[in-house]
């Protein structure tokens, strides 16, 4: 899956034409885009990480990336919400999957980091499809090697800043504590978005605050509205290099039943998409979307929402790449 160093084509190669080849035909690459080996190099690599050994409740997110790809067959090349044709502005390609050891979390984390190093080393940005939230740590390590400590917007029902589970330091509930400890996050520009539900104790919140995180709860989004929340997040991030990490359980189970640890009272898919669009002026250097577990998904509700969120993130990166070349 390592890309070649050949120059990108002058005109980006876009998706298969759905007016000529039915959407249900052919391989399910993200948005029916070309594979990385078909274009040689890319500006944005969409890559899967089929790994869910770090989950604490329901497994199945190892199948999330391919479920998102299947749902993304319905995406179209023009994004009216952002007035952009992302796949014409920059080359976007499906880089396949990072194959990580499902029996050894430490080894898997190292493998993911090394593969991300290879992709980012070509100059590409990454849109990663998980997999469970454990994978965010190696991805952030790799991004920080290139950009230094990055701002983080973490969309999730949960804090994911706990210390250990059963003595294990690397799980889907611990990546952002480890990232703060390793100095790869800009602690002046961190925020959770969409958190809700019971915690182990108030110390969870005080520890989280000490790490530098701000919190926008799902109730805050409901009461204050998406425009005000997006403005708050933009101000917190400023012009810093930004990494966005989305756990699909940030959505209410009505909008995302197919996930491992659902919590009542979450965002709607519309609220999530509108907040992402409100971040289009931020310097988005890479992103991930995790915890889609298709075994619990009804009629692909979760996968469809995830594919649209990934599309909005990819559009933001494509617009920024095109602007930097203008």
Helix (H, G, I), strand (E, B) or coil at 289: strand
Kindly give, in sequence order, each residue whose CB lies less than 8 Å from that of residue 258, ignoring residues fewer than 6 positions away.
67, 248, 292, 293, 294, 295, 296, 297, 298, 301, 302, 303
Distances (CA, A) of 205 to 108, 166, 194, 210: 29, 20, 14, 9
Q: How far is residue 61's CA from residue 195's CA, in Å, rounded to a whole number? A: 20
CA–CA dist 178, 44 (Å, integer): 26
Q: Can you say how many angstroms the Cα of residue 236 is from the centroid of all Cα atoms in its chain?
A: 19
Alpha carbon 49 to its chain's center: 11
For the stretch 21-59, what's the b/e string if a residue is b when 16 or more beta carbons lie within 10 angstroms of its beta carbon? Answer: eeeeeeebbbbbbbebeebbbbbbbbbbbbbbbbbbebe
Known binding site: residues?
Answer: 133, 156, 158, 160, 247, 249
Beta strands in 218-323 (DSSP E): 241-247, 283-290
Phi, psi for 168 (deg, rounded to 5): -85, 130
Question: Residues annotated in the binding site for Mn(2+), as ranges?
Answer: 133, 156, 158, 160, 247, 249
**Residues paired with 211 in a beta bridge:** none
**Do the beta carbons of residue 284 and residue 316 sit within 8 Å?**
yes
Cα–Cα distances in angstroms (integers) from residue 256 to residues 55, 216, 272, 321, in the given order? 17, 19, 12, 31
- Whether the CB-CB separation of 164 and 233 falls below 8 Å is answered with no
């Amino acid at each position: 899956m390592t890309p070649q160093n050949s120059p990108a084509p002058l005109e980006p190669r876009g998706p298969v034409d759905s007016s000529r080849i039915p959407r249900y035909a052919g391989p399910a690459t993200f948005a029916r885009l070309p594979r990385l080996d078909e274009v040689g190099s890319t500006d944005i690599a969409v890559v899967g990480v089929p790994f869910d050994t770090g989950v604490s409740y329901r497994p199945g997110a190892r199948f999330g990336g391919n479920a998102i790809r299947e749902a993304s067959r319905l995406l179209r090349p023009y994004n009216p919400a952002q007035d952009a044709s992302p796949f014409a502005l920059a080359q976007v390609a499906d880089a396949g999957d990072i194959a990580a050891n499902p029996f050894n979390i430490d080894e898997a984390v190292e493998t993911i980091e090394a593969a991300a190093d290879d992709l980012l080393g070509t100059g590409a940005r990454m849109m990663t499809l998980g997999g469970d939230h454990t994978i965010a740590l190696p991805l952030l390590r790799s991004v920080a090697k290139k950009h230094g400590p990055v701002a983080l917007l973490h969309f999730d029902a949960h804090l994911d800043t706990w210390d250990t589970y059963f003595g294990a330091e690397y799980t889907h509930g611990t990546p952002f504590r480890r990232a703060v400890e390793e100095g790869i996050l800009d602690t002046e520009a961190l925020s959770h978005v969409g958190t809700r539900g019971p915690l182990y104790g108030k110390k969870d919140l005080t520890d989280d605050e000490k790490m530098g995180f701000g919190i926008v709860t799902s109730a805050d989004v409901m009461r204050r509205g998406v425009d005000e929340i997006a403005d708050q997040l933009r101000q917190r991030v400023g012009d810093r290099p930004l990494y966005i990490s989305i756990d699909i359980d940030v959505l209410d189970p009505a909008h995302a039943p197919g996930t491992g640890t659902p919590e009542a009272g979450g965002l709607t898919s519309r609220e999530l998409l509108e907040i992402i669009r409100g971040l289009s002026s931020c310097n988005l250097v890479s992103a991930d979307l995790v915890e889609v577990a298709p075994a619990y998904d009804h009629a692909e509700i979760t996968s469809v929402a995830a594919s649209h969120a990934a599309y909005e993130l990819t559009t933001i990166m494509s617009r920024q790449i095109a602007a930097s070349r203008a």
